Amino acid sequence: MLADWQGEAVTTYERFHLFDDDIWRYLWDGHVAARGANPYTSAPADPSMDQLLSTEAGGQPDWETIRENINYPRIPTIYPPLAQMVFRASHWLAPGSVLAMKVTVVGLDLLAYIFLILTLAALDEAPAKSILYGWNPLVIKVFAGSGHIDSMAVAALAAVCYFLARRKRAAASVGLGLAIAVKIFPVILLPFLARRVGAWRTVLACAAAVACCVPYLGAGPHVLDGLRVFSATWQFNAGPFQLLAWAIGTFTSQPQLFARIACAVLIAATLAILYWSDDGGPNTFARYALLALGTVLILGPVVMPWYATWLLPLGIIAWNRTAIFFSLAVCTAFLVMVQEVEWPWALFVEYGALVGMMWWEIAHNRARAPASDRAAAS
């Protein structure tokens, strides 16, 4: 039933405003690769790309219009190699087709849903909890509505949790390697994986990620050009980061730079504490992965709403209600697309609600803990 419903959501994309324009970059990158060029070496607005604007008979697809719709056209692609392979596969299905890309993205979304159900069953948890993912408004909007490639990273992370629960350590390692190859952020989970699968299988995860890079090695260091610009300059929906930058701004003329440094130090310290406290159990990976990725996301300068989907399956598996709640609270960020203004009150509502939910969950868990555990904690 869910598959039919999501399939219907894909076919109605004409009536569902995209709100964001990442999908045009996906279509363009797939087109560039299909023409034998490298999306990491030339930005869409580069004059050398003009030769790729020719269309088939009938004027479709209209590559000139697609290129005009791309955000930041003077910056090369930021998307990692496995994401590029997905873009190329979608191009093979139907060049320049928004529908084909969305079908691909939703297919990966359904794969994530399946792995979530399987993981819950493997852990003797109620598979019905998976409905919190399958019918989540954020998931439906960003995957079926906007076609974000993050669905593949979500599927890979859900697969890692499943394979660890089934003690299939090599498969879990490959899964994390693929997650890194589609979105670089899961690289921070390698130490937590190593605790559970051992050193050589962790090397297998790295090898899987590197193998995906082989078709793009011709770009050399330019593979990271777009990502460097993104990490150094972009900011959106960043509650704690923006608050810190505002506070630092009273002491320096470069608040953004020092806020990035301060947040990086906080993230590194938190990850170190999490790694030190990690029990290495195969069934607790979701919990530590959630806390690690959540730290990077919440303290980062860019908190796109679709990034919260990374946390949702992990939150359901670990039964962290704050992560589940945040997938709803983060939707307030979409208000920026009404008038292209980032409202301070929306940030206050989003992150104030998040802090409130975190406080409630900590208090709730503490109240339910055995008396001996509460005494030890105090």
The pLDDT assigned to 373 comes to 55
- Which residues have a Cβ under 8 Å from the Cβ of 246 and sit 6 or more positions away? 255
The pLDDT assigned to 300 comes to 96
* Residue pLDDT tens, the chain, 378 long: 344 444 444 433 343 444 578 999 999 999 999 999 999 999 999 999 999 988 765 567 889 999 999 999 999 999 999 999 999 999 999 999 999 999 999 999 999 999 999 999 999 999 999 999 999 999 999 999 999 999 999 999 999 999 999 999 999 999 999 999 999 999 999 999 999 999 999 999 999 999 999 999 888 888 889 988 988 889 999 999 999 999 998 888 899 999 999 999 999 999 999 999 999 999 999 999 999 999 999 999 999 999 999 999 999 999 999 999 999 999 999 988 777 788 889 999 999 999 999 999 999 988 887 754 555 555
The pLDDT assigned to 374 comes to 53
The pLDDT assigned to 1 comes to 38
Do 38 and 218 meet the contact criterion of CB atoms below 8 Å apart? yes
The pLDDT assigned to 337 comes to 77
The pLDDT assigned to 59 comes to 62
Do 176 and 285 meet the contact criterion of CB atoms below 8 Å apart? no
The pLDDT assigned to 340 comes to 79
Helices (H) and strands (E) in the chain, counts: 20, 0
Distance of CA 289 to CAs 47, 162, 252, 286, 320, Å?
43, 13, 35, 5, 12
Backbone angles phi, psi at 302, to 5 degrees: -130, 115
pTM of the model: 0.90
Query: How many other CB atoms are found less than 10 A from the CB of residue 125?
Result: 15
CA distance 183 to 307: 10
The pLDDT assigned to 98 comes to 95
The pLDDT assigned to 264 comes to 96
The pLDDT assigned to 5 comes to 40
The pLDDT assigned to 20 comes to 77
CA 143, 146, 149, 154 dihedral sign is negative
Query: How many other CB atoms are found less than 10 A from the CB of residue 228?
Result: 13
